[in-house]
A = this chain, B = another copy of it.
Amino acid sequence: MSGDNQIRIGLLSCTNKVRKLSRAINLSPNATISAIATTSSIEEAKSFAKSNNFPPNTKIHSSYESLLEDPDVDAVYFPIPTRLHVEWATLAAIKGKHILLDKPVALNVAEFDQIVEACEVNGVQFMDGTQWMHNPRTVKIKEFVNDLESFGQIKSVYSCFSFAASDDFLKHDIRVKPGLDGLGALGDAGWYTIQAILLVNNFKLPKTVTALSCSVLNDAGIVLSCGALFDWEDGVNATIYCSFLANLTMEITAIGTKGSLRVHDFVIPYMETEAVFTTSGGGCVSEHKVMTVLPQETCMVMEFARLVGEIKNRGAKPGWFWMRFSRNTQLLVDAVKESIDNNLEPVYLSGR
């Protein structure tokens, strides 16, 4: 693919997240880095660009606004605190920039709907930056749980994502600060578990959401650890557990009428080049290896750039699948938070 067809991505800030994503963009045949914006030192940004192998002609902007005005930027990646999402993502949409936004996409679904509206009005592509959804393994998992012969109908799913945050993280990280990422472990680790249970339920929203009576909050009221139950019809259910306070664990256990699925590293596979899941049913246990030629974050960038390319080069409309998925995930995050705040009362999702 010639450079002319590559989607030109602008990056905000010189952080580790940007470092990781820049590698993914460099590995993507259909995307390139065209600009980076820094609010601190221009020299530091130049050095950051060089040490991370940005293209030599990458522009350095001294403000986010300036990057959003740059005609050589098609799309923007936003590794900024959740509280700032609505302001910057709507501005980017108004400027006609396609948007790759970290999770949680907003502090609540009402805020996210402002972003949705701005994207729709301005015809820009939206995707949230959760990478595991783009791993080729996830496609295979989706196929398995939708196979009525092998898996049957879903009955129950459990997902957890926990990691033991350092004392420093628990004191200073933006994810434990009400003024920055106010949803804590629920908006961070919990986001993935909610995606997992939606994936296994073919993206269908549950009828009710009930927080479990095991939440741990910090002094500022931020969730450090919590669980929740999700109910569909006929006893179909899901439970999640997410935590900053427990050993790294990334599980999906899904049980259908005919088959079961187990994944032990669904968020970040143990290996970058292959990913494994296990199925059982009909008396057999099978381990499935899925080769991943490119890392999952590159798969994400390629899918994002593909959708942007369809709009830019072929006049297509934005694809709304990823935006709907982000919205439904945010809706369930909000519902768990509402149930926690409301003495564990069930939240009914009908009409939301």
Across the interface, do A214 and B236 meet the contact criterion of CB distance under 8 Å? yes
Binary CB contact string for chain A from 217 to 257 against chain B (1 if under 8 A, 0 otherwise): 00000000101010100111101010101111101010111
Q: Which of B155, B237, B241 contacts A158 (CB 8 A)?
A: B241
Q: What are the residues of chain B within 8 A of A96 when measuring CB–CB?
A: none
Across the interface, do B257 and A164 meet the contact criterion of CB distance under 8 Å? yes
Cβ of A272 to closest chain B Cβ, rounded Å: 15
Q: A280 on the interface (CB 8 Å rule)? A: yes
* Residue tally, chain A, CB below 8 Å to B: 46
Interface residue stretch chosen among A44-52, A111-119, A205-213, A323-331: A205-213
Q: Which of B164, B214, B251, B253 contacts A235 (CB 8 A)?
A: B214
Across the interface, do A255 and B247 meet the contact criterion of CB distance under 8 Å? yes
Q: Give chain A interface residues in 302-352, CB to chain B under 8 Å.
A: 346
Q: What are the residues of chain B within 8 A of A285 when measuring CB–CB?
A: 264, 270
Known contacts A247-B255, A247-B258, A256-B246, A214 near B241 by CB under 8 Å: no
Binary CB contact string for chain A from 183 to 205 against chain B (1 if under 8 A, 0 otherwise): 00000000000000000000000
Considering the complex, give the chain B residue whose CB is closest to the CB of A154: B246
Q: In the complex, A240 Cα to B162 Cα: how many Å?
A: 18
Across the interface, do A248 and B227 meet the contact criterion of CB distance under 8 Å? no
Q: What are the residues of chain B within 8 A of A295 when measuring CB–CB?
A: none
Known contacts A155-B245, A225-B235, A262-B264, A210 near B208 by CB under 8 Å: no
Q: A160 on the interface (CB 8 Å rule)? A: yes
Q: In the complex, A281 Cα to B160 Cα: how many Å?
A: 16
Known contacts A249-B253, A249-B280, A253-B160, A214 near B243 by CB under 8 Å: no
Cβ of A269 to closest chain B Cβ, rounded Å: 12
Q: Which of B214, B241, B246 contacts A231 (CB 8 A)?
A: B214
Known contacts A158-B239, A236-B214, A239-B212, A164 near B229 by CB under 8 Å: no
Q: What are the residues of chain B within 8 A of A280 when measuring CB–CB?
A: 247-249, 264
Given A213-B231, A247-B256, 17 extra CB contacts under 8 A: A155-B247, A156-B227, A158-B158, A164-B257, A212-B239, A213-B346, A216-B235, A227-B229, A227-B239, A229-B229, A235-B245, A245-B257, A246-B255, A247-B280, A247-B281, A248-B260, A249-B255
A: residues with CB less than 8 A from B are: 152, 155-156, 158, 160, 162, 164, 208, 210, 212-216, 225, 227, 229, 231, 234-237, 239, 241, 243, 245-249, 251, 253, 255-260, 262, 264, 270, 278, 280-281, 285, 346
